[in-house]
Amino acid sequence: MIVKIKEIIQESPTVKTIVLNKKIKFKPGQFAMLWLPGVDEKPFSFLDSNKFAIAKVGEFTKKIHELKEGDILGVRGPYGSYFKPYGDKILAVAGGIGGAPILPAVKEFSKKAEITAILGFRCKDEILFLEEFKKYCHELIVCTDDGSFGYKGFTTDKMRELNLKDFDLIITCGPEIMMKKVVDLSPIPVQVSMERYMKCGIGICGQCCVDSEGLCVCKDGPVFDSFQLKYIKEFGLYKRDECGRKVRFC
């Protein structure tokens, strides 16, 4: 589907939200493949039915950030698995741009459950979607690495101060090392949104396969639960680059 950019919102120095002129029905945690003619095609999680939050981290996203209102994009999707609610009390843990797929889940789950959210950022200037999270969370905790806003420290540091058994479910998205710590700390079910290098987005090319179980992040993920993660041995350890080579997380 070819769409036009209706609006561009500067969320932070490194993140822009692209608002499209068409809405797409999706479930929280799903993604779409965004195609920039003459450049490339990459996966991005839905922020809303016509919104994608994009951090400038590489050549493709740099080109996306150069787009103007009225420019065109190609969109395929939605694809992949999604966050599923469970219980009456849910803890959401997000790091940086990982708040983008978490926010739609918080919005949806808050209709029937009490949501506590821990959001982590490098500094005050990089905080994203704060007012939106405030609308839907029973409790909201913001962490910054440098202490320029809220709690000084990592999201997982703050997690250790909570009684996690008070919750029924944890949902998380952000740096994979952070998510691995979330899973390791949790005594309750966890759902994580993983990121891998994708080409087709529909489970054909095998670029985003994890380990030897044949699971593809695009088709079987990007949202995986605690049970599935037991079979993904590379989780939190390494990913693969565009050539399929293993790259260890720092």
Q: Is 19's pLDDT higher than 90?
A: yes
Give the Å distances, CA to CA, from 209 to 33, 131, 196, 228: 17, 36, 9, 13
CA distance 235 to 184: 11
Nearest-5° Cα angle at 108, 72 to 76: 25
Q: Is pLDDT above 90 for 204?
A: no
Of 31-35, 50-54, 176-180, 229-233, the one with minimum mean pLDDT is: 229-233
**pLDDT over 80 (residue 235):** yes
Whether the Cβ atoms of residue 53 and residue 15 lie closer than 8 Å to each other: yes
Mean pLDDT of 40-67: 96
119 pLDDT above the threshold of 70: yes
Average pLDDT, the chain: 93
> Contact, 92 vs 105, CB < 8 A?
yes
Number of domains in the chain: 2
Q: Is the pLDDT of residue 144 over 90?
A: yes
Other Cβ atoms within 10 Å of 5 Cβ, number: 17
Q: Is the confidence at residue 105, as pLDDT, over 70?
A: yes
Res. 242: pLDDT tops 90: no
Residue 213 confidence (pLDDT) = 66
Same domain membership, residue 169 and residue 68: no
CA dist 219 and 201 (Å) reads 7
> Under a CB-based contact definition with an 8 Å cutoff, are residues 144 and 123 in contact?
yes
- The answer to whether residue 84 sits within a structural domain is no
- If you average pLDDT over residues 232-243, what whole number do you get? 80
- Whether 134 and 239 share a structural domain: yes
Q: Find the radius of gyration of the CA atoms of the chain.
A: 17
What average pLDDT does range 45-64 have in this prediction? 96
105 with 79: CB under 8 angstroms?
no
Instruction: Work out the angle at residue 217's Cα, subtended by the Cα atoms of residues 215 and 223, and round it to the nearest 5 degrees.
Output: 105
Q: Of 48, 79, 110, at which residue does a domain stop?
A: 79
CATH number, domain at 32?
Answer: 2.40.30.10
User: Residue length, the chain?
Assistant: 250
Strand, helix or coil for residue 21: coil
**Does one domain contain both 167 and 190?**
yes
Domain boundary among 79, 111, 126: 79
- Residue predicted with more confidence, 224 or 249: 224
- Is pLDDT of 211 > 80? no
- Rounded Cα distance, 16 and 30, in Å: 19
- Lowest average pLDDT, out of 174-178, 217-221, 239-243, goes to 239-243
Which helix (H) or strand (E) segment holds residue 65: the answer is helix 59-65
Spell out the residues 6+ positions from residue 41 whose beta carbon is closer than 8 angstroms to its own.
Answer: 33, 34, 35, 74, 76
Are 174 and 62 contained in the same domain? no
Q: Identify whether residues 97 and 72 lie together within a single domain.
A: no
Structure tokens at 210: 């994890």
Per-residue pLDDT band at 168 (split at 50, 70, 90): very high
Q: Is residue 89 pLDDT above 80, yes or no?
A: yes
Query: And the tokens for 237?
Result: 């350890």
Q: Where in the sequence is the domain holding 236, given as residue range(s)?
A: 89-248
Average pLDDT on 77-84 reads 97
Q: d(Cα 7, Cα 137) in Å, to the nearest integer? A: 27
32 and 154 part of one domain? no
Please indicate, yes or no, whether residues 128 and 168 belong to a single structural domain of this protein.
yes
pLDDT at res. 212? 59
The residue that leads in pLDDT, 21 or 200, is: 21
| pLDDT higher than 90, residue 236 | no
Residue 225 within any structural domain of the chain: yes
Domain boundary (79, 100, 124) is at: 79
My answer on whether 238 and 164 are in the same domain is yes
In a domain, 177, yes or no: yes
Query: Do both 242 and 127 map to the same domain?
Result: yes
Using a pLDDT cut of 70, give the percent of the chain over it: 99
Distances from the Cα of 116 to the Cα of 106, 174, 184, angstroms? 9, 17, 19
Question: What integer pLDDT is reported at residue 48 of this predicted model?
Answer: 98
Say which CATH number the domain at 146 has.
Answer: 3.40.50.80
* 123 lies in the same domain as 208: yes
Cα distance from N-terminal residue to C-terminal residue, the chain: 37
Using alpha carbons, select from 62, 63, 29 the residue that is nearest to residue 45: 29
User: Does 101 lie in the same domain as 28?
Assistant: no
| pTM recorded for the entire structure | 0.94
| Structure confidence by residue, pLDDT tens digits, 150-167 | 999 999 999 999 999 999
Q: Report the Cα 245 to chain-centroid distance in Å.
A: 23
Residues 95 and 34 in one domain: no
